[in-house]
């Protein structure tokens, strides 16, 4: 019994991931910040203060990724990297959408996908840099 309590303890420390289901949520995330990674595209949006807290995540793959089997495999891989990284690196009150890439999401080694999500989250949450004006 003590092993069961120890296994349940750390899960309670991390915020719960909620899966996005409504098209409007995906569209709002698509209109916000984007960060490309070799294995996928990350779209991120900070929600309004009136919306409920927590980390929400969505997954999508177009038919360019492949047939239904390939799209489902790509989404399973994206779900696993989100489950591993977002409770640690994601921010409360944010929506994240991971978009699969053709030929990359399914074939890229899993360890590199994890690293891609670390890097993409760091870049999305980095302070905005002022734009340089073009030289005359």
- Looking up residue 66, the CATH number of its domain turns out to be 3.30.230.10
pLDDT over threshold 50, residue 11? no
- In a domain, residue 5? The reply is no
Which H helix or E strand runs over 113?
helix 110-124
Q: How far is CA 125 from CA 53, 66, 96, in A?
A: 17, 31, 12
Helix, strand, coil percentages in the chain from 3-state DSSP, rounded to 5: 45, 20, 35
Find the domain containing 82 and state its range.
18-124
Angular region, 81: left φ>0, alpha ψ -120 to 50, beta rest? alpha
- In a domain, residue 132? The reply is no
Question: What is the distance between the alpha carbons of residues 120 and 122, in angstroms, rounded to a whole number?
Answer: 5
- In a domain, residue 114? The reply is yes
- In a domain, residue 34? The reply is yes
The model's confidence at residue 7, banded by pLDDT at 50, 70 and 90, is very low
- In a domain, residue 133? The reply is no
- In a domain, residue 9? The reply is no
- In a domain, residue 8? The reply is no
* pLDDT reported for residue 130: 73
Written in H, E and C, the secondary structure of 53-87 is CCEEEEEECCHHHCCHHHHHHHHHHHHHHHHHHHH
Average pLDDT of the chain is: 86
The reported pTM is: 0.81
pLDDT over threshold 50, residue 54? yes
Number of folded domains that form the chain:
1
Which H helix or E strand runs over 96?
strand 94-100
Q: Measuring CA to CA, which residue among 118, 125, 34, 39 is closest to residue 84? A: 118
pLDDT over threshold 60, residue 115? yes
- In a domain, residue 4? The reply is no
Mean pLDDT confidence for 15-21 = 82
pLDDT over threshold 80, residue 132? no
| Better-scored residue on pLDDT, 58 or 13 | 58
Report the relative pairing of strands 17-19 and 94-100 from DSSP bridges.
unpaired
């Amino acid at each position: 019994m003590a092993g069961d309590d120890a296994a349940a303890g750390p899960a309670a420390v991390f915020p719960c991931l909620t899966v996005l289901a409504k098209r409007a949520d995906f569209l709002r995330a698509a209109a916000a910040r984007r960060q490309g990674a070799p294995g996928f595209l990350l779209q991120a949006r900070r929600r309004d203060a009136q919306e409920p807290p927590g980390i929400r995540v969505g997954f999508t793959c177009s038919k360019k990724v492949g047939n239904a089997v390939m799209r489902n495999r790509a989404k399973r891989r994206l779900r696993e990297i989100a489950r591993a990284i977002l409770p640690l690196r994601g921010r409360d009150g944010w929506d994240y959408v991971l978009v699969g890439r053709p030929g990359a999401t399914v074939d890229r080694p899993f360890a590199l996908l994890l690293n891609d999500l670390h890097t993409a989250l760091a870049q999305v949450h980095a302070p905005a840099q002022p734009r340089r004006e073009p030289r005359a």
